Amino acid sequence: IFLRSIGTSQSNIGRIFMIYGICLMYLAPLISKYIGASKNKKKYLVIGSVIGSLSIANFYFFKDVSGVIAVTVSIFLLGISACLIPVRSAYVLDFDVTKQLGGGKAIGILNAVLRLGQVSGPLLFGWLFLTMGSDMGIAATSIVYLIFTLIFVLIR
């Protein structure tokens, strides 16, 4: 919607959003090999979350400077974040409680929690936009994402 509002053609909007898919197709396998061999999966989960927060913050800070470039960089950062975040399944499988419960059940619970986030996240994001406006809603989303990442670092 933003790109369309600044006059970007539909074909260029499609090309910009293809960056996300390209990250998942070409970078994710390379990153997965590297992360899979790592003992510290939490580090990559945190890095992916921080990059995700930065992708939203990038759009907030730079959309007025150069809208197309800001969106392109944000989509690329979001793609990199999406390449790192799937490590959460491997991270959860390393817990002692997961070994007691069983991997299948633990991943099932993880997927249920993820689905809950996939439903509640857009609702919360929409509520922030309605109550705070689009600019402050984007800023709040970035800050909340970063705060939850920091809470994860401190608790786990």
pLDDT tens track for 77-116: 999 999 988 788 888 888 888 888 888 898 899 899 989 9
3-class SS of residue 39: coil
What is this structure's pTM? 0.83
Q: What is the mean pLDDT of the chain?
A: 89
Angle formed at CA 2 by CA 117 and CA 4, multiple of 5 degrees: 130
Q: For tokens 């070994």, what's the residue?
A: 99
Rounded-to-integer distance, Cα 112 and Cα 125, Å? 20
Rounded-to-integer distance, Cα 68 and Cα 154, Å? 36
pLDDT tens track for 113-137: 989 988 998 898 889 889 998 888 8
Helices (H), the chain: 2-5, 10-22, 28-36, 41-62, 67-84, 87-93, 96-101, 103-132, 134-155
Rounded-to-integer distance, Cα 91 and Cα 138, Å? 29
Confidence (pLDDT) at 24: 92
Burial class (CB in 10 A: 0-12, 13-18, 19+), 127: exposed
Q: For tokens 């933003």, what's the residue?
A: 2
